[in-house]
Amino acid sequence: MKLGLFGFPVGHSRSPRLFARLATLIKKPISYEAVAVPLGTLAAAARLRRAAGWRGVNVTAPLKAEAAAYADRLTPAARALGAVNVLRFGRGVVGHNTDAQGLRDALKSAGVKARGKSTLVFGAGGAARAAGWALAREGARSVRFTARTASRARRTANDLRKIFPRTRFSAGAGAPAEIWINATPLGMKGFPDRSPAPKHLPSPEAAVDLVYGRRTAFQRDAAARGARVEDGAAMLVYQALRAWEFWDKPLGGRRRAALAGPLMKEVFK
C-alpha cells in the first residue's frame, strides 16, 4: 500500500520509521514517503499522489486545516475538531482525525483515568481541541483551556461544549486540576523549553505532555511537584495505528496494544 506524510517541514518526522516497522510487524508491503508540502499546495500534492495510486496520507503541521477544506467528506471526529490528520484517497477524499482517539488510547494504556476528573489543558490549538475531545469522551468532569490568546481558548471551549454537554468546559487562567495536558509546543525542538504551568498551582495527579521524545521543562516541573508524568510518544504511535486502520481495516484493541510496544521502541530508540 502506498502511503505518506504531508507537512512542512517533514525532515524530523518519525512516521517513515514507524510505518516501516509496522510493515514488518504485520507482514504487509507498505511504502511510506514524507513529502514537504508548503501551505497552500496540498491540493496539487494530493492530486499527484492520487494519480500515482497512493491510498492516503498523514497530514501534519501546518496543513491540518487545509486538509479539512480539501477533503470531499469529513468523519465526525474531523468535523468536530475542524482539523484533519489523515486523508484517505478513493473515488473521493475522506478526511479523518486520529489525534483525539490516539490520545484516548494512550491515556488508557498509561492507566490515566479521566472519568469524573477536573482537567486543565495548556494551549488552544488543534492538539488542545483533540485533548478536550478525548477527555470529554473519557468522562472528565471539567476541561479548562488556558492559552495566551484568551479568545482562542474561549472559542475552543465553546465549540466543544456544544458536542459534550455533560462536561463543563471553561477558558481562562490556569486553575487547580487533577489532570494536566500540555498541548502547547513549549519544549518541542525549536521552541523555548519552559513549563506553561503557573507556579502557584498545586500538583495534579497526572501530567501528560503531547510533546514526545524529550524530557521537557513541563515534564520536569510536574514531576518535581509530585505528579506522575507521561509524554506524547504513546499518542504518536496510537494515532498512527488508528490512521493505518482507517486506510486498511480495524486491528482490534488487543492487536493494537500489542503493536504499540514494539513501535514505541522503534521510534524512540
Residues 91-150 that bind ligand NAP (CB under 6 A): 99, 102, 122-128, 147-149
Q: Which of 171, 211, 243, 264 binds ligand NAP (CB under 6 A)?
A: 211
Task: Tell me if residue 162 is catalytic.
Answer: no
Q: Which of 84, 100, 188, 222 binds ligand NAP (CB under 6 A)?
A: 188
Distances (CA, A) of 130 to 83, 85, 239, 265: 9, 11, 11, 25
Smallest separation, CB 121 to ligand NAP (Å): 9
Residues 8-67 that bind ligand NAP (CB under 6 A): 61
| Of 37-45, 110-118, 205-213, 221-229: span binding ligand NAP (CB under 6 A) | 205-213
Smallest separation, CB 73 to ligand NAP (Å): 22
Instruction: Give Cβ neighbours of residue 49 (< 8 Å, ≥ 6 apart).
Output: 2, 4, 35, 57, 89
Q: Which of 232, 246, 256, 267 binds ligand NAP (CB under 6 A)?
A: 232
Contact, 188 vs 209, CB < 8 A? no
Nearest alpha carbon to residue 121 among 73, 161, 156:
156
Q: Pattern 246-265, binding to ligand NAP, x per CB under 6 A?
A: --------------------
Query: Binding to ligand NAP by residue 210, rule CB under 6 A?
Result: yes
Q: Which of 2, 64, 162, 199 is catalytic?
A: 64
> Could you give the residue numbers annotated as active site?
64
